Structure 1
Amino acid sequence: MIGTLLVANRGEIACRVFRTCREAGIRTVAVHSDADENALHTRVADIAVRLPGSAPADTYLRADLIVKAAVAAGADAVHPGYGFLSENAGFARAVLAAGLVWIGPPPEAIEAMASKTRAKQLMGLAPLEEVRESDLPVLVKAAAGGGGRGMRVVRRLEDLDTALEGARAEAASAFGDGEVFVEPYVENGRHVEVQVLADTHGTVWALGTRDCSLQRRHQKVIEEAPAPGLSAALDDELRTLAVRAARAVAYVGAGTVEFLVADGRAHFLEMNTRLQVEHPVTEAVFGVDLVAEQIRVAEGGALAPEPPPARGHAIEARLYAEDPATDWTPQTGTLHRLAVPDGVRLDTGYGDGDEIGVHYDPMLAKVVAHAPTRAEAVRRLAGALERATVHGPVTNRDLLVRSLRHEEFTSARMDTGFYDRHLAGLTAAAVDPHAPLAAALADAHTGPGARSRFGGWRNLPSQPQTRRYTAGGEEHEVYYRHTRTGVTAEGVQVVHADPALVVLEIDGVRRRFEIAQYGDRVHVNDTTLTALPRFPDPVTQRAPGSLLAPMPGTVVKLAEGLITGSSVRAGEPLLWLEAMKMQHVISAPATGTVTSLQVTTGQQIQVGTLLAVVQEL
């Protein structure tokens, strides 16, 4: 029996595994980079071991350090989580060679399926050897790992070399393996997968289907189980193919077989030889703890001949620290508060006050709703996200709520092109028109006037007080007055105002506004505002055409021949930034001349760093 288990991972998945271990009475060991010294997964584990001598972004790819940590901590077993080394056969062998239990499939099964090129060959498929015009569009894809890293859609032959180079670099950074391949790209299909679980006694379960079609950057955003709208024949075919793939490599443990479904046909994509991020929806529908089953199987336990029956419908949304309106730019900073209403499941790797850094994936949490029907699950999840408290950097929370309520999603007609078609509408600014006033009234009670004897009232007529905020890319200016009876504002009745709560009566309807302020960032219910100074600092003003870093990261590449004085076209890539294991393109804002180039390859930059200036023609 396993007594102590080390998770060779970080964040949400480490916390998730530790939760099951605590329930089972298993001691837990966390490993961490220097950047993660105070991360939640290190705080909740019984033992935490620092992984020395590596850059934070690469620490969790050091198999030798992780195995050494497991032995030093007295662990009996290692769980790889997902990402990083979870599909690395060499790591699995190193764990076994150290006399530890590997919570995963045999290394031979990982080798057969973890490389997507070999997996396709095993299933009788093959990647493209040479790309011709008639093959377009195609998908460049990392042979190892997942999570959308190392993937590029290519629609023009002249873009292929650049896509290959970028995919290789991204894959090497994320998985330690830069191998990529090219396959046909199926437009607007549905991403459907099957959860499998196998023991060492010959039993293989197919735990239903999941739909993961809502994706950005080829990374899943909303997932659900079971996949809606499949015919009985297609559903049966998918589960049969998944079991066949697992048996073909003598699979053991939890894994996922992924397909692209288009025109009623299933196209095999890959088999992920690990636990998936979206496994909670399957757990909810089948009433199982997949981590507990992984551990039981690794201990030699046998599965029942048939899986438990499915019940109801479950939907999961991934909450990311990113701005969907600006090309999904990752965000950093302090997560001051994260809480969701009762009735939904929250899996997270962050606690209140934790820092969101630049080195790792920007996923903050997964929120999961389960209900008897799909419609009820969708409504429950959308409502919970809408009422969630998320104070800190910009997130995709509003996008998730709008996606769940979009007619194409509620009617189950979504596909992988959903955000290509609807992103602009889903990210359109929707600022509560009374939020700036509520913020101003709350702020009025934190300044000197709030503490004075007269509450800011003057016995002579004067100009109203003014506050300015930005939200949704627009500036909002609001006015209020201090009077003998209290603070007033035109068009509303101020029922109550203090730094944490403002109550306004608007056209006879009373509305509550809960306020939380952190520096110049003000959260008013689910609207986020940035308070502007009364007198802008001229030092912060930038020349027209200035390109500022949207995130902290590393400049990994400059466009060929780019120098001060270069002529550029609007939308032309100028440089590439790497942050959170993804590469982000910074393009020219207009056609013109580069009058200033402020960075070089390899340079570390912070948010707001001036990268270049393009003077428009």
Structure 2
Amino acid sequence: MFKSVLVANRGEIACRVFRTARAMGIRTIAVYSEADADALHVREADEAVLIGPAAARESYLVAEKVLQAAKDTGAEAIHPGYGFLSENADFAEAVMAAGIIWIGPKPDSIRAMGLKDAAKKLMIEAGVPVTPGYQGEDQSDETLTAEANRIGFPVLIKAVAGGGGKGMKKVDRAEDFADGLASARREGQSSFGDPRVLIESYITRPRHIEVQVFGDSHGTVVHLNERDCSLQRRHQKVIEEAPAPGMDQATRDAVTAAAVRAAKAVNYQGAGTIEFIADASDGLKADRIWFMEMNTRLQVEHPVTEAITGVDLVEWQFRVAAGEPIPLKQDEIGINGWAMEARLYAEDPANGFLPSIGRLEHFVLPGDPRRPYAAYDVRIDTGVMQGGEVSQFYDPMIAKLIVHGNTREAAAEALADAAGDVEVWPVKTNAAFLVNCLEHPRFVSGDVDTGFIAAEEAVLTTFTLSDHGLQGAAREVRFEDGINGVGRDPFAPWESWTEAAGLRLNASPSLKQTLFVDGVRTVIEIDDAIAAQHSHFEPERGTTIYFESGAPFRVSSLSPRGAAAGPASDGSLRAPMPGKIVAAPAVAGDTVAKGAPIVVLEAMKMEHALVAPFDGVVQSVSVVVGDQVGDGVVLAVVTPVESLP
């Protein structure tokens, strides 16, 4: 076994790999960008090397810098994590040529499965069923448009080198195909250096089923059963679970056998995932599940497989890379209970899921020693800490919450409780959204597909402080209307800081209190008999951030001063975060319909279209493609039709 490992990655996955390495007595080496100088993965490593500026293309994606760091530190092995260089066959070859152990599949296997079009052709030859579509070499607009029309709308446009939902666009109508194609090409070029695409038929009720496979250098390939990753938003996974709900043993046997055939077809070694798309309109059936792609690396959702099998997949990666055989035989790998994972993103579900950046002034995750009351067991994989920064330069996922239970119902309940105990401020997160997903009747019953979030989004993104929560907020906020303007103790007698009304003998007084919850005036009648203590955080005098079910509520007894007026009503389109302009499909003078894209901003590895807020005319576009813009900058102005002369 090698004695040292460099992780060519950052954040949560670097910390995850380091955890296993430490347990095995292996020295850990981190690489980091200037933006990550104080990051958690840098602090946890035995040694760390600066490899460049904040932008990934100048640091984490520069193979030569990573390889030089390995040579300078004497690293015996390199683990690529996921994303960045993890599926770069040229990098794998360079690592091996330098005499360093590559913890991953052979370069030929990466190449064979790295391009979705070529992989599908290979799978057809291996007898693995594939999704109907077009994987041809002709990439002209005319041919792709014709093929989309032949397949029939809706269709999926997918970057051939894509992954993680990047470069993937669903197109419902023929008239929208050109815009979807252009966007998929841009994301493919930006994220993977390859603008080529393929087209697939869009399955109406799709479920995303994937199988964890593992191969070694002795010719053995095993599977570790399946995961269900159907709960997605814009092709980004949100909640994953293992095993898949509704999967009977006959269907499981067929899918896992196909996955093993797929891995053997490329002489696979190490950890990999065979991803399938299932038509769930009539339940899971073996003849309605098709190969979609293979990820030749560890997956973000690997902990749920670890939880039901009892296997440390990173340890297996280390051992197989060192030439050892897979530790278990196929018949020794079973399924124990149910596991679920939720991805905690720095994003604002109430504002179109826009990424949120900034300093984590208050950051408490379930299981934190500051919150010892949790009645569940939870595994936390994270790469950030309180006081750290969520940067515009990297993926917005800041943690993963993983639970294991005897049944699916027990796992879902525990994960909902864990997500509900998340406390983050002022960076926005999707914690409350996760709670709503996990408690939704459709999810609880297992009635999910990849369209679940889109169909239920209005309910899932509604967050309201409950009556019980308002009672707690009234007790916890430090009011500034006490004697001489001095903030009062929240547990002081009610009579000293509010008005009593309707007093009755031998009964609790009826007391009214005015609060401002997220800037909205609310008058509540306080029930002194209710014990409503919940966690809270005080960022400034007179204001409390009250946490309920994962959602933060800003509560004050004073009317907010200088409160934001909300979305611009004058048609001004402002940058929601710093980023780069990658498209400007509209120009001054264009007549546009509500929802038409005006400017497209790239930030945190994804494209964000700023659209017309109403039917109108574009008065101005103040940016051009390639411009770097700051948060809040006006990019364009649209004037409503009725206000035109």
TM over 0.5, shorter chain: yes
Query: How much has 1:214 moved relative to structure 2?
Result: 0.4
Q: 1:591 aligns with which of 585, 610, 615?
A: 615
Q: From the superposition, tell whether residues 17 and 345 of structure 1 become closer, same or farther in structure 2 (CA, over 3 Å).
A: same
What does residue range 45-64 of structure 1 map to in structure 2 within 5 Å? 45-52=45-52, 55-56=55-56, 58-64=58-64
Q: 1:184 aligns with which of 171, 176, 201?
A: 201
Q: Report the equivalent of 2:516.
A: 468
Q: 2:399 aligns with which of 365, 377, 382?
A: 365
Per-residue CA shift, 1:452-481, capped at 9, x if unaligned? 9999979999xx9965342xxxx42256xx
Q: Report the equivalent of 2:241.
A: 224
* Counterpart code for 2:134: P
Contact preservation (8 Å) 2:578, 2:631: yes
Contact preservation (8 Å) 1:437, 1:478: no
Query: How much has 1:578 moved relative to structure 2?
Result: 0.6
Query: How much has 1:157 moved relative to structure 2?
Result: 2.4
Which segments of 5 or more consecutive residues in structure 2 lack a partner in the other structure? 125-129, 137-142, 368-373, 501-511
Correspondence 1:240 to 2:257 = yes
Q: From the superposition, tell whether residues 380 and 534 of structure 1 become closer, same or farther in structure 2 (CA, over 3 Å).
A: closer
Correspondence 1:510 to 2:531 = yes
CA distance in 1, matches of 2:583, 2:405: 48
* Counterpart code for 1:387: D
SS of residue in 2 equivalent to 1:423: helix
Contact preservation (8 Å) 2:472, 2:533: no
* Counterpart code for 1:606: G
CA distance in 2, matches of 1:37, 1:51: 10
Correspondence 1:332 to 2:366 = no
Contact preservation (8 Å) 2:365, 2:421: no
Q: Report the equivalent of 1:127.
A: 134
What does residue range 322-401 of structure 1 map to in structure 2 within 5 Å? 322-335=347-360, 336-341=362-367, 343-401=377-435
Correspondence 1:10 to 2:10 = yes
Q: 1:283 aligns with which of 282, 303, 306?
A: 306
Correspondence 1:318 to 2:334 = no
Query: How much has 1:334 moved relative to structure 2?
Result: 1.8
SS of residue in 2 equivalent to 1:143: strand
Correspondence 1:578 to 2:602 = yes
Q: From the superposition, tell whether residues 46 and 545 of structure 1 become closer, same or farther in structure 2 (CA, over 3 Å).
A: same
Q: From the superposition, tell whether residues 186 and 74 of structure 1 become closer, same or farther in structure 2 (CA, over 3 Å).
A: same
CA distance in 2, matches of 1:284, 1:55: 35
Q: Report the equivalent of 1:614.
A: 638
Q: Report the equivalent of 1:107.
A: 107
Query: How much has 1:160 moved relative to structure 2?
Result: 2.2
SS of residue in 1 equivalent to 2:294: strand
CA distance in 2, matches of 1:577, 1:528: 28
Query: How much has 1:612 moved relative to structure 2?
Result: 2.6
Query: How much has 1:49 moved relative to structure 2?
Result: 0.9
Per-residue CA shift, 1:374-426, capped at 9, x if unaligned? 11111111112112333332211111111111121111121111112111111
Q: From the superposition, tell whether residues 606 and 291 of structure 1 become closer, same or farther in structure 2 (CA, over 3 Å).
A: same
Query: How much has 1:52 moved relative to structure 2?
Result: 2.5
Query: How much has 1:189 moved relative to structure 2?
Result: 1.3
Contact preservation (8 Å) 1:196, 1:204: yes
What does residue range 61-210 of structure 1 map to in structure 2 within 5 Å? 61-124=61-124, 127-129=134-136, 130=143, 131-135=147-151, 136-210=153-227
CA distance in 2, matches of 1:284, 1:419: 25
Q: Report the equivalent of 1:556.
A: 582
Query: How much has 1:200 moved relative to structure 2?
Result: 1.0
Moved more, 374-383 or 540-549: 540-549
* Counterpart code for 2:319: R
* Counterpart code for 1:476: V
Per-residue CA shift, 1:325-355, capped at 9, x if unaligned? 3332111112221310351111011111111
CA distance in 1, matches of 2:39, 2:552: 26
Q: 1:215 aligns with which of 215, 232, 246?
A: 232
Contact preservation (8 Å) 1:120, 1:127: no
Query: How much has 1:540 moved relative to structure 2?
Result: 10
Q: From the superposition, tell whether residues 155 and 114 of structure 1 become closer, same or farther in structure 2 (CA, over 3 Å).
A: same
Query: How much has 1:37 moved relative to structure 2?
Result: 1.6
Query: How much has 1:213 moved relative to structure 2?
Result: 0.4
Q: From the superposition, tell whether residues 598 and 232 of structure 1 become closer, same or farther in structure 2 (CA, over 3 Å).
A: same
Q: 2:315 aligns with which of 263, 285, 292?
A: 292
Moved more, 332-341 or 577-586: 332-341
Q: From the superposition, tell whether residues 446 and 27 of structure 1 become closer, same or farther in structure 2 (CA, over 3 Å).
A: farther
**Identity across matched positions, percent:** 46
Contact preservation (8 Å) 1:2, 1:299: yes
SS of residue in 2 equivalent to 1:213: strand
Moved more, 365-374 or 44-53: 44-53
Contact preservation (8 Å) 1:325, 1:424: no
CA distance in 2, matches of 1:449, 1:98: 70
Query: How much has 1:164 moved relative to structure 2?
Result: 2.1
CA distance in 1, matches of 2:18, 2:98: 22
CA distance in 2, matches of 1:549, 1:535: 24
Correspondence 1:270 to 2:293 = yes
CA distance in 1, matches of 2:340, 2:106: 31
Query: How much has 1:366 moved relative to structure 2?
Result: 0.7
CA distance in 2, matches of 1:536, 1:67: 51
CA distance in 2, matches of 1:574, 1:105: 43
Query: How much has 1:10 moved relative to structure 2?
Result: 0.9
* Counterpart code for 1:555: I
* Counterpart code for 2:485: G
Query: How much has 1:188 moved relative to structure 2?
Result: 1.6
Contact preservation (8 Å) 2:278, 2:289: yes
Query: How much has 1:539 moved relative to structure 2?
Result: 11
SS of residue in 1 equivalent to 2:276: strand
* Counterpart code for 1:133: N
SS of residue in 1 equivalent to 2:213: strand
Q: From the superposition, tell whether residues 73 and 517 of structure 1 become closer, same or farther in structure 2 (CA, over 3 Å).
A: same
Contact preservation (8 Å) 2:148, 2:155: no
Cα RMSD, aligned residues only: 2.8
Q: From the superposition, tell whether residues 540 and 459 of structure 1 become closer, same or farther in structure 2 (CA, over 3 Å).
A: closer
CA distance in 2, matches of 1:537, 1:235: 55
* Counterpart code for 2:273: T
Moved more, 217-226 or 297-306: 297-306
Per-residue CA shift, 1:154-181, capped at 9, x if unaligned? 1222322322221122122223333322
Moved more, 250-259 or 524-533: 524-533
Q: Report the equivalent of 2:477.
A: 442
CA distance in 2, matches of 1:134, 1:92: 39
Per-residue CA shift, 1:417-449, capped at 9, x if unaligned? 111211111112322346567657623269973
Report the number of matched residues. 586
Q: From the superposition, tell whether residues 58 and 326 of structure 1 become closer, same or farther in structure 2 (CA, over 3 Å).
A: farther
SS of residue in 2 equivalent to 1:144: strand
Q: Report the equivalent of 1:477.
A: 521
Q: From the superposition, tell whether residues 321 and 445 of structure 1 become closer, same or farther in structure 2 (CA, over 3 Å).
A: same
